[in-house]
Amino acid sequence: MDEKINGRTEADYVFEKTYVCPVCGTTFKALRARTGRMKLLGTDPDMRPIYQSIDVIKYDCVACENCGYAAMAKGFDEISDTQIKIIRKEIASKFKGLKHASRVYTYDEALIRTKLALANSMVKHGKLSDSAYICLKIAWLYRGKRNELIAPGEERTRQLSKLEKEYMNKALAGFKEASTKEMFPIAGMDEWTFDFLLAELSRECNYIEDAKKLVSHLIVSKNVPERIKDKARELRDSIMEKEAEA
Ligand SMILES: [Zn+2]
C-alpha cells in the first residue's frame, strides 16, 4: 500500500507517538495513523474501514518493544496492578524483543504487534469482547495482506484466506460469548450494530442459518436504525442469491 495517490504515501499518514510502558516503565515510540487527514473510501461488509493509501488497522495496536506488553492504543494505559504482575510473569519474562520500525509497519510487523495485543488481552483476562475485537483486526490484517499481493499465487492466497477465516471464527465465537456476559455497548458497538456484525461474521464463517436468523430479527425489530435495516436487507438478499445459485 505504498503507492502514491495524490502524491501521498502511507508514510505521510503515520507519525511516531511516545508512550511510557505501564508494565516495564520504558519510554518508547510507536507508529500511529493520523486519522484526521485520511480519506475514507468505504467499508467492507464486516465494517473493515478502507482508507486511501493506508490500512489503518496496522496502527491500532501499540506494543512495548522492550517487554512485550501490547494493547489497543485506546486502552493502552488501562491496566491494573494485578494485571501488570501477570503480564510480567507470563509475557515479559519470555519476551525476546521487537524490531523497531520508524517509518511504516509492514503487514507482518503489524501482525506481530496485534497478535501480541491478543496474547496480552487473554493473559490479563481482559474483556472477552476486547480479545474478540483484536481477533477481528488480525483477520482484517490477513485480508489486507492478501489484497496487497502483487502477483497472487493461488497457494499464497489460499493460505492467507485460511488464516483470515481462522481469526474470524475466533472473533465470532468471542463476540457470541461476550454478548452473554457483557452489557452494551460492546467493543464500542450498540446492540444493533453488534448484531449486524455477528450476522455478517456468521455469513463469512459459513454459519448461514445463524446469519439468516440475525438479519430477520434486525429487519423486523422496531427501534433498529434504517441504516442498519438497509444493511441487513442487503445481507439477506446476498444470502438468498447465493442460495438460489447453489
Ligand atoms: Zn514494556
pTM of the model: 0.94
Quote the ligand 1 centre to 196 CA distance (angstroms).
Answer: 37
Calculate helix-pair angle for 81-90, 107-123, nearest 10 degrees.
Answer: 120
Our measurement of the distance from residue 229's CA atom to the centroid of its chain's CA atoms, rounded to an integer in Å, reads 24
Quote the ligand 1 centre to 200 CA distance (angstroms).
Answer: 36
From the CB of residue 42, how many other CB atoms can be counted at a distance below 10 Å?
8
Nearest to 98 by CA among 47, 148, 62, 123: 62
Sign for the pseudo-dihedral over CA of 87, 107, 206, 198: positive
pLDDT for residue 53 is more than 80: yes
Sign for the pseudo-dihedral over CA of 39, 44, 46, 50: negative
Residue pLDDT, tens place only, 6-32: 678 999 999 999 999 999 999 999 999
Name the residue with cell 450476522.
Answer: 199
Quote the ligand 1 centre to 186 CA distance (angstroms).
Answer: 28
Quote the ligand 1 centre to 72 CA distance (angstroms).
Answer: 14
Joined together, the cell numbers standing for residue 43 give: 467499508
Domain chopping of the chain, boundaries:
10-189, 190-246
The predicted pLDDT at position 120 comes to 98
Q: 103: pLDDT confidence band, cut at 50, 70 and 90?
A: very high
Joined together, the cell numbers standing for residue 51 give: 482508507
User: Is the preceding peptide bond at 185 cis, omega within 30 degrees of 0?
Assistant: yes
Our measurement of the distance from residue 177's CA atom to the centroid of its chain's CA atoms, rounded to an integer in Å, reads 17
